[in-house]
Amino acid sequence: MTLQSVADEVGVSRMTVSNAFSRPDQLSKELRERILATAETLGYSGPDPAARALARGRTGAVGLLLNGPLSEAFEDDVSAEFVAAVADELTRRGLALTVLTPPQGDRFLPARDVAVDGALVYTCDPTSAGVAWLSRRKLPVVAVDQDLGREVTTIGVDDLSGARAGARHLLELGHRRIGVLALTEQFAHDPPNRDRLLGWRRALGEHGLEPVVARTTLLPRSAAFAAATDLLESSDVTAVLCFDDVFARAVIAAATALGRSVPGDLSVVGYDDSRAATVGVPALTTVRQDVTAKGHLAAGAIADLLDGRAARSHVLPTELVVRDSTGPVPAP
């Protein structure tokens, strides 16, 4: 079943059938309906997407390049919300989302071998093979929470200000011995981790203070609990600033296990204002970012690029949300 079979049946040229499907305004309504009806009868389900992709030079799919185990990307509320927002917005613009997983061998490298018109780079080591392949293919790319150079359209978040706001909030409450729970050194150059750490450091620095830094990983989830326990046992911090809300929950759990109450004995600040911030008790003081907006902007940017329009970089604002996990510094 091809365009040609339908054309033969109707008695028009293949091109007219193509137009019936792809450019409705190029032929009479009447003829178009006759063609569509015949196609239906013949069981022709429309132009073959692969052939169309080759002829048009566009596949209609946008890649989402992710590094590390996918479980990290999909099992984290924040990433999942981002992916959902991206997929929704891409669909609205007539594009599909293809997941470009990290390669698991040598034969098949998604970033090299999968047909996409462009890609979103998210949660990636900028030096990864995937990023390199995308640029070798000269595909349009939009970086999200990532530094790929000034020429690359980038959608980011003002984590520097967000982190600073969180730290200042603690300082205003009188805290002076403050811990932070960040990602491991492996993420030293990951913008969110880097900027949050920097924002905390700067705010504390304004008071001549230095944070007690603890580091951990997103997975396994138990790692954060262990790191938090260690931080609380090995130092006398009265407050902890966390890389994200999940870490904040881990700190609260660790504090509780050590018999310390939050916010009575310890103040905890999360980040993201994800589901974890409001689902548990106490509700978290956290720094809100609009992940859905980030996804929409990223999808819009890559779509613009594909349409030959310029795409602007954006830095999304953050906002401190004060809830119940922070309070005045405890009396000595």
Partner DNA sequence: CTGAAAGCGCTAACAG
Partner DNA sequence: CTGTTAGCGCTTTCAG
Candidate residues 23, 33, 74, 317; the one interacting with its own copies per rule CB under 8 A: 74
**Number of Cβ within a 10 Å radius of residue 81:** 18
Cα dihedral sign for 173, 177, 178, 181? negative
48 sits near DNA (criterion: CB under 7 A):
yes
Q: At what angle do helices 3-10 and 14-22 cross, to 10 degrees?
A: 110
Considering only residues 103, 126, 282, 330, which one is a binding residue for its own copies as defined by CB under 8 A?
Answer: 103
CA 269, CA 325: separation in Å to the nearest integer? 7
Q: Is 37 in the site for DNA (CB under 7 A)?
A: no
By a kind-dependent CB cut-off of 5 to 8 A, residue 18 interacts, out of its own copies, DNA, none, with DNA
Minimum Å gap between C-beta 95 and DNA is: 16
Between β-strands 178-183 and 239-242, what pairing exists: parallel, antiparallel or unpaired?
Answer: parallel
On whether the CB atoms of residues 299 and 86 are closer than 8 A, the answer is yes
* Span interacting with DNA, options 41-49, 251-259, 298-306, 316-324, rule CB under 7 A: 41-49
How far lies 245's CA from each of 78, 271, 279, in Å? 10, 5, 11
How far apart are the C-alpha atoms of 126 and 65, rounded to whole Å? 11
Stretch that binds DNA, among 21-29, 76-84, 162-170, 230-238 (CB under 7 A): 21-29
Q: Does 11 sit near its own copies (CB under 8 A)? A: no
> 181 contacts which partner out of DNA, its own copies, none, CB within 5 to 8 A by kind?
none
Binding residues for its own copies restricted to 110-129, rule: CB under 8 A: 110, 112-116
Does residue 177 contact residue 170 with C-beta atoms inside 8 Å? no
Say whether residue 99 binds its own copies (CB under 8 A): yes
| 3 state DSSP class of 256 | helix
What residue ranges bind its own copies (CB under 8 A)?
Answer: 43, 45-46, 48-51, 53-54, 57, 59-61, 69-71, 73-75, 77, 80-81, 83-84, 87-88, 90-92, 94, 96-105, 107-108, 110, 112-116, 133, 136-137, 249, 275, 279-280
